[in-house]
Amino acid sequence: MRVAVIRGDLPGPVFLSDMEAVSQFNPPTEPVGQQKYVSRPTSASFGAVMAANAPASVGSTANIVFPLLINAGNQTLKIKGAAADPFTSVLIPAATYANMTGLLAAINSVLPSAFTAVPLASSPALRLALQTTGKGAGLRIQYDSTGGGSTANTPLALAAGGALFLVPAASAVITATVPVGGPVDVSPATIATQLGSGLTAAQSLALTNALAPLFVETDVAIKCFQVGELQDLRNAAFNPDPNRIPAIVSGAAVSVVQDDGTTPFTAPLPLITAAVWNTPVGGLTITGVGLAGPGALNSEVVETVVKILTAPDARSIPQAIITAAAGGKVSATSIVIPASKIPAGLGIGVGTKVQVRYTSLASNQFALT
């Protein structure tokens, strides 16, 4: 999951203190501790990341077909940086290129030092990107149209009409991806739209992490989202300083999205919405949300607790027992307990209350119907 600060009036960064401490983790089995400060990106902070990771770039719009014949009729590439500069014509060495490696080496041997050719991250073996060797806001790259004499556009699968890209200001990227109040969109497609299609995977990841840091979805991280500090920070009633005069408007401080950078992250607390007693022959069916995790079928962390409120001998039926029986099922939205796995003598029936516990979180008690 990714966490982005969406308030612009916080007095400082927010500290996620209920994540794992950096020094307290088991290296063979756990990610590095994730307790950290999270800040809203600023023009200065994000601009520094752009200066290290954001060249101006333009890329192939389709796959290059190999083997590729470059000759006098299609070897001219016309390229420039600043709008006021004239196009520089470079001649790609005439040859038949078997793969991207050889083609890139040939192009880079003739490009001016201000430019370089690299594999396009989306299809590195079949597409390339032309980019500036410098990085940061304000840099510009442009190639001419095929009609204007840039005949290499055709074999390199570049746009026939030419193309240009200007690296935007850091503030513009922040507004487009992590606007105040949301919604957050730091998906790879949006990062490429904002900062150029020629970014390497590493550059795209560095830029994305600067906008919305990535957290591994450990049990502790999910608990932080469900009932901890992330839950407080994403609450619409959050107020960074309720005693401030004049008053600060309440509103969520962060937005949490999935690893894709745009889909809202969800991890509902265990909640039973229906529980049906299908007679001693049919067993018990519970439906709801948050009743298990994605690894429910291979995990024993979920227990279904069947309680008889008028008796002291309430029983627990663990997931391993439920799923060992034919027809037994445990998922995030449904639990089916076959009659054979319900202890005899419990006196279970309509009106008996049941409860589900997933990890350390317990659901509501729900009367069977």
Q: State what percent of residues in the chain have pLDDT above 90.
A: 66
Contact 304, 358 (CB under 8 A): no
Q: What is the mean pLDDT of residues 235-252?
A: 90
pLDDT over 50 (residue 301): no
CA-to-CA distance for 334 and 356, rounded, in angstroms? 11
Query: Which of 43, 62, 164 is closest to 115 using CA atoms?
Result: 164
What is the structure's pLDDT at 40?
96
N-terminal to C-terminal alpha carbon distance within the chain: 38
Dihedral sign for Cα 327, 329, 334, 335, please: positive
Q: Is a pLDDT exceeding 70 seen at residue 310?
A: no
88, 163 in Cβ contact below 8 A? no
Of the candidates 157, 69, 59, the one whose C-alpha atom is nearest the C-alpha of residue 106 is 69
How do beta strands 315-318 and 302-307 pair? Answer: antiparallel
Top pLDDT among 247 and 266 is at: 266
Per-residue pLDDT tens for 260-288?
999 999 999 999 999 998 876 778 899 99
Phi, psi of 211 (to 5 degrees): -90, -40
Six-digit token pair at 65? 């077909």
3 state SS for the chain:
CEEEECCCCCCCCEEECCCCCCCCCCCCCCCCCCCEEECCCCHHHHHHHHHHHCCCEEECCCCCCCCEEECCCCCEEEEECCCCCCCEEEECCCEEECCHHHHHHHHHCCCCCCEEEEECCCCCCCCEEEEECCCCCCCEEEECCCCCCCHHHCCCCCCCCCEEEECCCHHHHHHHHCCCCCCCCCCHHHHHHHHCCCCCHHHHHHHHHHHCCECCCCHHHHHHHHHCHHHHHCCCCCCCCCCCCCCCCCCCCEEEECCCCCCECCCCCCEEEEEEECHHHHCEEEEEECCCCCCHHHCCCEEEEEECCCCCCCEEEEHHHHHHCCCCEECCCEEEECHHHCCCCCCCCCCCEEEEEECCEECCCEECC
pLDDT at position 96 is 98
- Which sequence spans correspond to the domains of the chain? 2-52+173-257, 55-166, 271-367
pLDDT for residue 298: 47
Residue with the larger pLDDT of the pair 97 and 320? 97
Q: Could you give the CA distance from residue 182 to residue 242 in angstroms, rounded to a whole number?
A: 22
Closest Cα to residue 164, out of 198, 190, 189?
Answer: 198
Return the pLDDT at 300.
Answer: 46
350, 369 Cβ separation under 8 angstroms: yes
How far apart are the C-alpha atoms of 286 and 352, rounded to whole Å?
13
Task: Give me the helix-helix angle, 170-177 and 43-53, nearest 10°.
Answer: 100
pTM of the predicted structure, to 2 decimals? 0.84
Place of tokens 């980019």: 131
| Residue 91 phi, psi dihedral angles, 5° rounding | -105, 110
The yes-or-no verdict on residue 303 having pLDDT over 60 is no
pLDDT interval class at 289 (50, 70, 90): very high
